[in-house]
Amino acid sequence: MRILLTKLPRPWIVDEKKDDGYTALHLASLNNHVEVAELLVHQHGSKSSQDPSNPSQPPSHPPAKSGKANMDIQNVNLQTPLHLAVERQHTQIVRLLVREGCNLNIPDKDGDTPLHEALRHHTLSQLRQLQDMQDVGKVGAAVITNHLLISLLMGLGTPGADKKSSASIACFLAANGADLNLKNKKGQTPLDLCPDPNLCKALAKCHKERNSPALTAPNAAIIRNDQESLEECMVCSDQKRDTLFGPCGHICTCSLCSPRVKKCLMCKDPVQSRTKIEECVVCSDKKASVLFKPCGHMCACDGCANLMKKCVQCRASIEKTILFIVCCGGTPPPEPQKPGIMNNGSRDVSRDIQKLQQQLQDIKDQTCCPVCMDRLKNMIFLCGHGACQLCGDRLNECPICRKSVEKRILLY
C-alpha cells in the first residue's frame, strides 16, 4: 500500500469511489486496517498536498484538511469513514480520524451523526445483555424483575467490553467537539438514544469542559507573557523595543539603549544604522509594525501594509514583509487554513477542476495517435493497438508492441 500511494500518478485516485460509494478509507475504517488508514491519511497527504515545482497551485485535497485523503467523503448512505469506524467499534481508527481533524457532525441518510451511532450501539449492547440474562432466567426463574430491567438500562448492570468501548467512543467524540444537540430525521438528539443517566452526565461534562474558557486561559497567559518578554528592551528591560537595526532588520533595544549596542544582540552582525520606529505614515493610528524587504524600512502598520505594493518611504517594490514580532525574535502566527467555502458563499471547486483536467488529459492520451500525437486514433491493427490513418498507412510494425502490421482496420 505504501508503494502504491507513493507511486500514484494522480493524487485524487485515492478518493475514487466504488459503486456503493466506498473509498479506500471507508474500507480501511470498516475492516479496522489501522496501518492502511494511517497511510491514506498521512503518507498520501505528504506526497500530494502541493506540487513543489508550482507552490502557487492550490492543494489537491479539499481545503478542510489540506494535503490529506478526504476524511469527510460520504458513501451512498452518506456515511463517512468515522461513521463506519464508530459502528464497528474500531477505537484506533476513531482516534486517528478525530486526531487528524475529521468533521464529527456530518449526518448520514437517517440524519445520524457518529455520536448517534455510538450511543445507539451502547444502548443495544445493554439490551442484548438484558436479553441474555432473560434467557438464563427462564431456566432458573420465570420472570425478570423490573428492578433488573431498570438497573441494566441505567448502566448498573455488568459492563461488558463492548459496552465500555461504545461508551468510551461516545465520551471521546463529545470531548472533541461532537454536537450533543443535533437531531436526526426522527427528531432525536444523541442523548435521547442514551437511557443511561450516568453516561449522559459524563457526555455533558466532556462537552462542557471542551468549551470552557478555563482550558484556554493558561495557554493565553503563556502567549501573553512570551509576547511581553519579546517586546521589552534586551538591555534595560524597562522600556519597550522601538529601534530597528540595519541591515539585519532585528529589533532588540529601546531608543535609549540602542547607541550603546555595536553588534546586534540576536544575530551578532555589526549595526550600521539605527532607526526609531514611529507611527504608521498612512493611518497615523497605530505604530509601524511591518518590515519591508528588500528596502528594510518599517513605516506602516500591519493593516496598511497589506494594501501596499511599494514602500511609501522609498517607492521600492515590496517583495517580502516581516512582522514586528518576528523582528523581535518571535515566531510568525500560523497562517489560516483556506476555507472550503469562498467569500461569495460558493463551494471551492479548484480540486474538482484539477481532477477533470487530469481526466480530460487521460482521454486525450488514449485517443491520440501515439506516433504524431496530433491527430485522433482512427486505425486499429490486429494486435489491438492503433494510430491515425496518415501514420498507420506508413507503418510496417506496431509502434507499441513492435508486431508486424498485417491488416489495418479503419474506425468510423
Gyration radius of the chain's alpha carbons: 32
| Full-model pTM | 0.52
Q: Is the pLDDT of residue 314 over 50?
A: yes
Q: Is the pLDDT of residue 204 over 70?
A: yes
Beta-carbon count within 10 A of 340 CB: 14
More confident residue, 194 or 157: 194
Q: With contact defined as beta carbons under 8 Å apart, do 339 and 346 qualify?
A: no
Q: Is the pLDDT of residue 404 over 60?
A: yes
> How do residues 94-105 score in pLDDT, each as one tens digit?
999 998 888 999
User: How many whole angstroms separate alpha carbon 98 and alpha carbon 104?
Assistant: 8
Coil, helix or strand at residue 139 = helix
- The confidence score (pLDDT) of residue 325 equals 85
Cα dihedral value 353, 359, 365, 367, nearest 10? -110
Q: Is the pLDDT of residue 248 over 60?
A: yes
Q: With contact defined as beta carbons under 8 Å apart, do 39 and 5 qualify?
A: yes
Burial (0-12, 13-18, 19+ Cβ within 10 Å), 196: buried
Q: Which residue reads 420465570 in cell numbers?
A: 142
More confident residue, 395 or 342: 395
DSSP 8: -
- The confidence score (pLDDT) of residue 212 equals 58
Over residues 16-28, mean pLDDT? 89
Q: Which residues contact residue 158 at a Cβ distance below 8 angstroms, ignoring those fewer than 6 apart?
A: 129
Over residues 149-167, mean pLDDT? 49
User: How far does CA 36 lie from the centroid of its chain?
Assistant: 18
In percent, the amount of the chain with pLDDT more than 90 equals: 17
More confident residue, 73 or 352: 73
User: How far does CA 314 lie from the centroid of its chain?
Assistant: 41
> How do residues 131-151 score in pLDDT, each as one tens digit?
766 655 554 444 444 444 444
- The confidence score (pLDDT) of residue 74 equals 92
